[in-house]
Amino acid sequence: MRRCILFLSFLLFACQQTPSIKPLLLDAQWFFQADSARIGIEQKWFASDFAHSRSIPANDFSDWDGWLPQSFDGVGWYFADITLERAERIALALKNADDEAVIYVNGIEVASHSGANIPFVVDLYSKLNPGLNRIAVRVTDFGGPGGLLHDVSFLAYRNAKDLQENRSSRGQSPKPPKWIRGAVIYEVNLRQFTPAGTVNAFTEQLPRLQELGVDILWFMPLQEIGQQKRKGTLGSPYSVRDYRSFNPEFGKLDDFKELVQQAHAMGMRVIIDWVANHTAWDHYWIEEHPDWYNRNAEGEIVAPIADWSDVADLDYNSSALRTAMIDAMVWWIRETDIDGFRCDVAEMVPLDFWRQATLKLFKEKEILMLAEGEHPDLHTAGFHLTYSSKLYWLLNRVVKGQAGAGEIDQLLAAEATVYPKGALRMRFTSNHDENSWNGSAPERLGEAVRACAVLTFAIHGVPLIYNGQEIGLNKRLEFFEKDPIDWQENALEEFYGSLARFVKQHHAVRDGVRIRLLAENESVYAFHSHHDSQEFVVVINFSPNPVRVHLPAAFFSFSDWFGGSSPSIEGLELESWGYRLYTNP
């Protein structure tokens, strides 16, 4: 329902302090400057020689509305100058950037972050110089409190690996269901899937999806949608009026039960979206249990975020609310025999609630818990699978030429360090949020759409197909109105089917040892993965220009998964945005 945390450049998750990491006392004064006209990028406020205003010193890091003459939602900049005798191993630790932040050092962007209340650390070492250094942080606030909230500090460290270690990496993700291995998830936007938009109309497509290679069907919320403060004609599926209801727009609950049975008979699993953070304004809890909701200073129930005006924010300080929410989740398992939940904005719900919920849910049956969120702590709170949003946003930047292919390797290396043992990541190039609000995959990725899909299916993790991607869906689906997918035959269906078969046959080696190849070429991402006797090689050209590359002779006997020629001593000619996937004999 919202953009999640993203990882770009040198962004790392927050670390616990170890003997090799310590607070650094620097004579640094932070200053703030509002950018209501959003001209800071154009005028290069981030540059080391920009003469920023020093009229608003950031003496404490709290809501910037406390400094400004009136409430402000928008863009603000923080600046600090630090003087060093020599380049040192220094990191910047931010406890809460509300809601998005971009960090610059001496005029160079080094990291981006999205998601309030998520601490993070940025390694500054490679961009610092002896003498004067300018640190600039551009923060975008979408509503409510804004700015850098709570602690902002510099850390000295000995080893970059220390910055990547956190308590989550030393924890344990719950053991996932066996059927997740080698699985492909397919997200179903039931409203837009067919002109009828019903469960029965969707059920007719089960054989096609089975043939495509789909293993897990994820349905967007199925409950009745609220009327009060509804957005658009049909409203948001994430505005739930009653957790135990079924949206009549989709048919009857019995229709869905029959669908689950048919899917199970065909070897597929079914998970549903669960919206635990908020309800519709006409949910009966507001009348019967008003103490279950968060309120403002005037005592009025509030939305979680100003823009989410169609929903009311739940208060998990209530033990009775927790019990009612868990009971509703159990009801869906018992009543419909679903196989798990995709939990909306999971990071906005207390982690201890998820621990409490999964403790009970796992006793019902073997289910899958997927979090819309990326923080490692979600895994130690009971989730098997988390969003790989950082990779999604990084691929968007790589395709635009704003990042090199090497940053993909940096991201995957950081993941291997900060996530707990057994953690699974969901890889994607689109979903309902990204399609509707940021553009379809072809709109964002252009001719690189296949290359990016190959990467998400080839690396370790669980790949996702958003409905319509398999036929090249190239429009933004309306979120609050009826806007059916125009289903037409397309060569991409064969392409995605081939990728799904690859995942099933090579899931063990996808989780095996990965070694990057051709690292000297920043437009090419290539790697060799192996496990026991299985091996494969992926080569992707992330540029609009053809390139020639040479693979080691050890791979000349490998076969092209898509039916092309094998690599040879003459080299491999990769067309613009070209890709190759080679498997051993």
Cis peptide bond N-terminal to 99, omega within 30 = yes
Which of 505, 538, 559 represents a domain boundary (last residue)? 505
Token pair in block for residue 246: 């079924």
Is the Cβ–Cβ distance between 197 and 191 less than 8 Å? yes
Please give the tally of structural domains in the chain: 3
Which of 437, 471, 505 represents a domain boundary (last residue)? 505
Query: Nearest 5°: CA angle at 147, between 141 and 148?
Result: 140
Rounded Cα distance between 123 and 280, Å, is 42
CATH of the domain at 432: 3.20.20.80
Question: Does 369 lie in the same domain as 267?
Answer: yes
* Strand 513-517 to 524-531 pairing: antiparallel
Question: Does 252 lie in the same domain as 236?
Answer: yes
CATH of the domain at 78: 2.60.120.260
* Strand 547-549 to 559-560 pairing: unpaired
CATH of the domain at 567: 2.60.40.1180
Q: What is the four-CA torsion angle of 512, 518, 521, 522, rounded to 10 degrees? A: 10
Which of 505, 528, 553 represents a domain boundary (last residue)? 505
Rounded Cα distance between 67 and 62, Å, is 9
Taking each continuous run of H as one helix and of E as one strand, the counts in the chain are 16, 30
Backbone angles phi and psi of 265, in degrees to 5: -65, -25
Closest alpha carbon to 251 in 216, 222, 228? 222
Question: Does 493 lie in the same domain as 366?
Answer: yes
Is the Cβ–Cβ distance between 313 and 293 less than 8 Å? yes
Rounded Cα distance between 482 and 195, Å, is 8
Question: Does 560 lie in the same domain as 431?
Answer: no
The strand pairing partners of 133, in sequence order, are 82
Where do runs of H (alpha helix) occur along 459-580?
A: 491-505, 507-510
Is the Cβ–Cβ distance between 218 and 273 less than 8 Å? yes
How high is the pLDDT of residue 18? 45
Alpha-carbon distances of 231 from 3, 34, 213, 386, rounded to whole Å: 19, 31, 35, 28
Rounded Cα distance between 291 and 286, Å, is 8
pLDDT in tens, 367-417: 999 999 998 899 999 999 999 998 999 999 999 998 889 889 888 987 887
Q: Is residue 261 part of a domain?
A: yes
The segments of the chain whose pLDDT lies below 50 read 1-19
State the DSSP H helix or E strand holding residue 255, giving kind and residue range, or none if neither: helix 253-265
Q: Domain range for residue 70? A: 17-164
Query: Nearest 5°: CA angle at 498, between 493 and 501?
Result: 125
Q: Residue 9's CB: how many other CB atoms inside 10 A? A: 20
How high is the pLDDT of residue 163? 63
Q: Name the burial class of residue 454, with classes exposed (0-12), middle (13-18) and buried (19+) by CB atoms within 10 angstroms of its CB.
A: buried
Question: Does 562 lie in the same domain as 457?
Answer: no
Is the Cβ–Cβ distance between 494 and 173 less than 8 Å? no
Q: Is residue 470 part of a domain?
A: yes
DSSP 476: P
How high is the pLDDT of residue 464? 98
Question: Does 143 lie in the same domain as 40?
Answer: yes
Rounded Cα distance between 408 and 132, Å, is 31
Rounded Cα distance between 180 and 383, Å, is 13
Is the Cβ–Cβ distance between 380 and 129 less than 8 Å? no
Look at the block and give the residue holding tokens 């309306």.
Answer: 478
The rounded radius of gyration (Å) of the Cα atoms in the chain is 24
* Strand 11-13 to 385-387 pairing: unpaired
Q: What is the sign, positive or negative, of the torsion defined by CA atoms of 295, 299, 302, 306?
A: negative
Question: Does 333 lie in the same domain as 256?
Answer: yes
How high is the pLDDT of residue 21? 57
Cis peptide bond N-terminal to 162, omega within 30 = no
How high is the pLDDT of residue 13? 40
Question: Does 107 lie in the same domain as 52?
Answer: yes
What DSSP string runs through 323-370?
A: HHHHHHHHHHHHHH---EEEETTGGGS-HHHHHHHHHHHTTTS--EEE
DSSP 437: I
